[in-house]
Amino acid sequence: MLKRNLPFAALLLVACAAGAQSPAPSAPTPTPEQQRQNLKMEQAALQVAQMVDRHQVAQIWDGASSVIKPIVSRDAFVRGVDTDRKTVGTPTARDLAGLSYTQSDGRTLPPGIFANVVFATRFANEKQPVRELISFHLDNDHVWRVSGYTLR
């Protein structure tokens, strides 16, 4: 797929592993509060994707979760995301494909709760939609912050 340097690959591992872990057991129909939370996560992920579209990747890293900052430098994050996006071209359509929450015990990911929002995104240089995954970590101050961005 796309070539990345080691620090950026580590960040992608956080995003990919968060997306690959088993989602929390499925619950019955979400409560109104859960529906509001899901909508907020979807909107936050869309904002992150649009910031990437506008080449504001450094600002994403600046506001990212503290769990990723020791794993990947700001420069490596910016370089990696920019490289991936140049390869696929300009986005032409973005549709929500999924939202899940996972709990990490700290063995493969930093401990805590992750939210993973997936878009099926069409890009100018790709014939098929690309999976655009944006992960968030619920930090100790109870604020959701970006913990990963990847294209697959």
Q: What is the model's pTM?
A: 0.81
Work out the widest C-alpha separation in the chain, in whole angstroms.
42
Q: What is the mean pLDDT of residues 27-41?
A: 89
The CB density around residue 134, as the number of other CB atoms within 10 Å, is 26
- What pLDDT shows up at residue 61? 97
Tokens 């904002």, residue located: 47
Query: Taking all residues of the chain, what is their mean pLDDT, rounded to a whole number?
Result: 87
If you ran DSSP here, which 8-state letter would residue 29 be given?
A: S
At 59, the pLDDT band (50, 70, 90 cuts) reads very high
- What pLDDT shows up at residue 29? 86
Query: CB within 8 A of 52, min separation 6: which ones?
Result: 60, 81, 85, 149
Per-residue pLDDT at 4 exceeds 90: no
Q: What is the mean pLDDT of residues 67-76?
A: 94
Tens-place pLDDT, residues 99-148: 999 999 988 888 999 999 999 999 999 999 999 999 999 999 999 999 99
Q: What is the percentage of the chain residues whose pLDDT exceeds 70?
A: 82
Domain ranges within the chain, ordered by starting residue: 6-18+32-151
Which CATH code of 3.40.50.720, 3.50.50.60, 3.30.300.30, 3.10.450.100 fits the domain covering 6-18+32-151?
3.10.450.100
